[in-house]
């Protein structure tokens, strides 16, 4: 497998993480508009789901860093 093919795999994985986070954030934003403004608990739960998606994407990025190192050096 060439280096270009390996990096293409990493790029596709990066796009998958990015698309998942963007989809989740927009979905929660759309659903959040339907929440009653006085329902603070539901708003906080919606915010926490978005933050979970963002921070799990950070962990995914760290995994991609390890994947790149493994693909390039081995």
Q: What is the dihedral of CA 18, 21, 23, 24, to 10 degrees?
A: 170
Return the structure tokens found at 54.
Answer: 């963002």
* Tens of pLDDT, residues 3-53: 888 889 889 989 999 999 999 989 988 988 899 989 999 999 999 998 998
Number of domains in the chain: 1
| Residue ranges making up the domain that contains 24 | 3-73
Hey, CA dihedral for 64, 48, 34, 37, is it positive or negative?
negative
* Tens of pLDDT, residues 20-33: 999 998 998 898 88
The pTM score is: 0.75
pLDDT of residue 74: 82
């Amino acid at each position: 497998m060439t280096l270009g093919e390996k990096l293409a795999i990493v790029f596709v994985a990066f796009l998958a993480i990015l698309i998942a986070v963007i989809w989740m954030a927009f979905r929660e934003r759309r659903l959040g508009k339907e929440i009653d403004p006085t329902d603070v608990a539901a708003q906080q739960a919606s915010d926490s789901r978005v933050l979970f998606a963002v921070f799990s994407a950070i962990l995914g990025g760290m995994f991609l860093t390890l994947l790149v190192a493994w693909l390039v050096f081995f």
